[in-house]
Amino acid sequence: MDLISGSADPHFQPVALEKAYRLLNHGPTVLVSAADGAERNVMAAAWACALDFSPPKVTVVLDKATRTRALVEASGRFALQLPTVPIAALAVELGTLSALQHPDKLARLGVQLFDAPGQQTPLVAGCAAWLECRLVPEPHNQQSYDLFIGEVTGAWADDRVFRDGHWHFETAPQALRTLHYVAGGHFYAIGEAIDVPVPKV
């Protein structure tokens, strides 16, 4: 199957901001993209998490040794996106090579970026969902814990796998399953649906 390669793809659809937390709720590994002026970069992060429903907020841990962190601090913006099974190797490469040692990192890895309408941060093609964020500056968290907070200003998903506020992994193509990283090139894809009753309170 074809993965989304740009915002003109008819499967690239907006997600209501009040449902944006659901894109991260199941704990996927993310790619973090950021830009400052003409410079753009992308890294991988397993440590990203939802923080609030409305307005939706997220946390992400960005090591001081990464170039992407510097771009986030300079621009006050970043995007999180959920890589899919076919780009697992790219996710590891993006998390292993640094633009500080390899200024041509994105070209070398063949990363395809695109812009979402009205947004300022480049997004990575081939993902299942995307969240653009405004940095909520918290210098103590950033300095002491490498912990960054963002408020989600735009969210999109591939509507074959997320639509009407719900994931549809059970009926979507296998290639759209999200990745959940452990270590050393070892991931798990998200698996089978499990539905249980919600008790009345």
| Interface contacts to a copy of itself, rule CB under 8 A | 22, 25-29, 46-52, 57, 59, 61, 85, 88-89, 92-93, 96-98, 101, 140-141, 145-147, 149, 166-167, 169, 177, 179-199, 201
Q: Which residues partner with 127 through β-bridges?
A: 83
Q: How far apart are CA 66 and CA 95, in angstroms?
A: 10
Residue 178 CB, nearest approach to a copy of itself (Å): 9
Q: Which residue has the tokens 């040794």?
A: 65
Q: Which is nearer to a copy of itself, 49 or 120 (CB)?
A: 49
Question: Shortest gap between Cβ of 28 and a copy of itself (angstroms)?
Answer: 6
Phi-psi region of 53 (alpha: psi -120 to 50; beta: other; left: phi over 0): alpha
In the complex with a copy of itself, the residue whose CB is nearer, 38 or 183, is 183
Taking a C-beta distance cutoff of 8 angstroms, is the pair 123, 114 a contact? Answer: yes
Least distance (Å) from a copy of itself to the CB of residue 120? 24
> Hey, what are 99's tokens?
């633009």
Question: What count of residues does the chain have?
Answer: 201
Could you tell me the smallest distance in angstroms from the CB atom of residue 80 to a copy of itself? Answer: 13
Neighbours of 69 (CB within 10 A): 22
Q: Which is nearer to a copy of itself, 2 or 170 (CB)?
A: 170
Which is closer to a copy of itself, CB of 51 or CB of 113?
A: 51
